[in-house]
Amino acid sequence: MTKTMLRITMGIILMTLLVFSVSCGPQSAGQTSGGANQTGNAEKPKLICGVTEFEPINFRDASGAWTGFDTEFALLVGERLGMDVVFQEIVWDKKFMEIEAGAISCIWNGFTANVIDSVTGRPRIEDVDMSYGYMLNQQCVVIKADRAAEFKSIDALAGKTAAAEKGSAGESLALEAVGSTGNIIDTAAQINTFTEVKAGAVDCAVVDILLAQNITGSGDYSDLIIADITLDSEIYAVGFKKGSELTEKVNQAMKALYDEGKLLQLAEKYGLENTLILITDPGK
């Protein structure tokens, strides 16, 4: 082998070793491992919100993405806290099991704070920590329009068959109202109670008025109305596992958004401006 060929061969070997060293060496800036993002920062903690289909609070748009007042509210809070917000659809009567098991971070779905839960038989404040109250609500009675004359007071429900979402504030009220001679048909979600009324399977449904106002009197449910029965006000709050550090963090973000007028802007978007509040002790 000539000296020239030897120099060429040695050059090729050196170049090969250099390429191998670079490809097998430490990762360059911007590359990640172990759950970091592409800028080298750790992943944001997740705020997993347990929800059900409940327009205008949480519902899916035409593309299947979650939207609604509570949905956008949670996203605003998550942004303040530096958290990624995830929406997990749950079976409502399993909500306390989900939060206790850590499957969700909170119950953020038009969750009534000041009520005795129909599943546990206890005030909800005993099972979860509540955030500040942020919205007024009340239950209502949904009926077929041609039966309006029959339902003029809550006493009219005695002995009737009523539909209600299992584990909901509506079920608690319905159980008491129909009494021992009546019957309750449980559904997996409030939206399903309207189908039961329309089909004649039940005499009425007891649901959140914010939902009923969006459903009754139009489309497939044009023959349904809200009965002329006034019931007590309720307060929506976010439910957290007992002792969770998230409760106070969300409260601080909630108050800031309220004080800045951003919650009012969001409420106006969904026609809920007259129900928006901020109350520090919603469980009473």
Query: How is the chain classified by DSSP, letter by letter?
Result: --HHHHHHHHHHHHHHHHHHHHHHSPPPTT---SSB-TTSPBPPPEEEEEE--BTTTBEE-TTS-EESHHHHHHHHHHHHHT-EEEEEE--GGGHHHHHHHTS-SEEEEEEESSSB-TTTSSBGGGTSEE--EEEEEEEEEEEEGGGGGG-SSGGGGTT-EEEEETTSHHHHHHHHHH-TTSEEEEESSTHHHHHHHHHTSSSEEEEEHHHHHHHTTSGGGTTEEE-S----EEEEEEEE-TT-THHHHHHHHHHHHHHTTHHHHHHHHTT-TTTEEEES-TT-
CB–CB of 241/100 below 8 Å? yes
Homologous superfamily of 46-137+235-279: Periplasmic binding protein-like II (3.40.190.10)
Give domain 138-226's CATH architecture. Answer: 3-Layer(aba) Sandwich (3.40)
pTM of the model: 0.80
Tokens of 132: 């500040």
CB–CB of 240/104 below 8 Å? no
- Comparing C-alpha atoms, which of 58, 240, 220 is closest to residue 131? 240
Structure confidence at residue 64 (pLDDT): 95
Structure confidence at residue 284 (pLDDT): 77
Splitting the chain (284 residues) into consecutive groups of 10 residues, what average pLDDT does each group show?
43 42 35 33 89 95 97 98 97 96 97 94 96 97 98 97 97 96 96 97 97 95 97 95 98 98 97 95 85
Distance CA 206, CA 118 (A): 13
Structure confidence at residue 41 (pLDDT): 55
**Where in the chain is CATH 3.40.190.10?**
46-137+235-279, 138-226
